[in-house]
Structure 1
Amino acid sequence: MNFRKVQFLLSAYNIGQLPSPDHPDIAFAGRSNVGKSSLINRLVDRTSLVKTSSKPGKTQSLNYFLVDERLYLVDLPGYGFARVSRQIRQSWQGLISEYVATRATLACVVVIIDLRHELKALDRELIDWLRHLGTTFLPVYTKADKLTRNAQRKNAAALDAGLTISAEERILFSATTGQGCDELRQRLTTLVGDQATLDP
Structure 2
Amino acid sequence: MERTNPKDMAKSFRFSPLRRARFRMSVTRMDQLPADDGAEVAIAGRSNVGKSSVLNLLTGHGGLARVSRTPGRTQAINVFDLDPGQRLMDLPGYGYAKVPDALRLSWGDLLEDYLRRRTSLRLLLLVMDIRHPLGSHDLALLDFARHCGRPVHALLNKADKLSRGAALQVLAQARRNPALEGVGLQCFSTQSGLGLEELHWLLARTYEKETPVETGAKSEPSKGGEGSGPGQGGKSQDRNATTAGFE
Does the pair score TM above 0.5? yes
Separation in structure 1 between the aligned mates of residue 185 and residue 133 of structure 2, nearest angstrom: 16
Residue number among 5, 24, 33 corresponding to 1:18 in the alignment? 33
Bigger Cα Rg: 2
Matches within 5 A, 1:185-200: 185-193=200-208
Q: Give 1:9's aligned residue.
A: 24
Q: Bigger CA drift: 34-43 or 68-77?
A: 68-77
Asked if structure 2 preserves the Cα contact closer than 8 Å seen for 1:127 and 1:163, the reply is no
What SS does structure 2 have at the residue aligned with 1:4?
helix
Over the aligned positions, Cα root-mean-square deviation in angstroms equals: 1.7
Distance in 2 of aligned mates of 1:82 and 1:165: 25
Hey, what does 1:44 align to over in structure 2?
59
Residue of structure 1 in register with 2:47 after alignment: 32
* Alignment correspondent of 2:220: none
The whole-number CA distance in structure 2 between the counterparts of 1:155 and 1:124 is 16
Aligned to 2:49, what secondary structure does the other structure show? Answer: coil
Q: Which amino acid aligns with 2:168?
A: R
Instruction: For CA contacts below 8 A with separation 6 or more, give which structure has more relative contact order.
Output: 1
Identity over aligned pairs, percent: 36
Gaps of 5+ in 1: 195-200
- TM-score scaled to structure 2, two decimals? 0.74
CA-to-aligned-CA distance 1:55-92 (integer Å, 9 cap, x gap): 11101000000113342110011110242110000001
Runs of 4+ in 1 over 6 A off after TM superposition: none
May I ask how many residue pairs the two structures share in their alignment? 194
Q: TM-score, normalised to structure 1's length?
A: 0.91
Give the residue type in structure 1 aligned to 2:160: D
Give the C-alpha shift of residue 162 in structure 1: 2.5
Shift of the 158–167 alpha-carbon distance from structure 1 to 2, 3 Å rule, reads farther
Match of 2:92 in 1: 77
Q: For the residues of structure 2 that align with 1:124 and 1:84, how far apart are their CA atoms?
A: 20
